[in-house]
Chains A and B, each alone.
Chain A
Amino acid sequence: MTGYVTRWISEWIEGLGKLALLFAEAVRSLCIHKPNGRELLRQIYFIGVKSQSVVLITGAFTGMVLCAQTYFQFHKVKMDSATLAVVSVSMCGELGPVLTGLMVAGRVGAAMAAELGTMRVTEQIDALRTLAAHPVDYLVVPRLLATLIAMPLLTAESIALGITAGYVVGVHLLGIDPTYSWQHMLRYTDVSDVVMGVLKSVVFGGVIALVGCHKGIVCGEGAEGVGRATTEAVVYASITILISNFFLTMFLTPLLGGL
Chain B
Amino acid sequence: MIEVRDLKKRFGTHQVLNGVNLHIESGESVVIIGRSGGGKSILIKHLIGLLRPDSGAVLVDGQDITPMNERQLLEVRRKFGMLFQGAALFDSLTVAENVSFMLRREGKHTPGEIAARVEQALDMVELQGTQNKKPSELSGGMRKRVGLARAIIYQPEIVLYDEPTTGLDPVVSDSIDQLIQRVRDRLKVTSIVVTHDMRSARRVGQRILMLYEGKIYFTGTPDEAFSSKDPVVERFVKGISDPKEHTF
Contact = CB atoms under 8 A, between A and B. Distances in A.
Contact of A129 (B50, B86, B90, B105): B50
A127 interface: yes
A147 B132 CA distance: 30
Contacts of A129: 50, 70, 73-74, 77
B105 A127 contact: no
Contacts of A128: 90
A123 B48 CA distance: 14
B84 A132 contact: no
Contacts of B102: 131-133
B215 interface: no
A124 B89 CA distance: 6
Nearest to A124: B88
A73 interface: no
Contacts of B80: 130
B84 A126 contact: yes
A22 to B, nearest CB: 12
A123 B84 contact: yes
A172 interface: no
A50 interface: no
Contacts of B89: 124, 127
A130 B82 contact: yes
A126 B150 contact: no
Interface string B56-71: 0000000000000011
B105 A130 contact: no
A134 interface: yes
B88 A127 contact: yes
B102 to A, nearest CB: 5
A122 interface: yes
Interface centre among A122, A123, A124, A128 (most CB of B within 10 A): A123
Contacts of A134: 70-71, 74
A131 B88 contact: no
A220 B78 CA distance: 28
Nearest to B91: A124
Nearest to A28: B71
A122 B85 CA distance: 9
Contacts, number: 52
Contacts of B84: 123, 126-127
Contact of B105 (A123, A126, A133): A133
B101 A123 contact: no
B74 A122 contact: no
Contacts of A124: 88-91
Interface string A97-132: 000000000000000000000010011101111111
B45 interface: yes
Nearest to A126: B50
B169 interface: no
Nearest to A33: B105
A182 B29 CA distance: 80
Q: Report, nearest first, the 6 A-B pairs whose CB atoms are least far apart.
A: A127-B88, A123-B88, A130-B82, A132-B74, A123-B84, A131-B102
Interface of A: 119, 122-124, 126-134
20 contacts: A123-B84, A123-B86, A123-B88, A124-B88, A124-B90, A126-B84, A127-B82, A127-B84, A129-B73, A129-B77, A130-B48, A130-B50, A130-B77, A130-B151, A131-B101, A131-B150, A132-B75, A132-B77, A133-B74, A133-B101
Given A123-B84, A131-B101, 5 more contacts: A123-B86, A126-B50, A129-B50, A129-B74, A134-B70
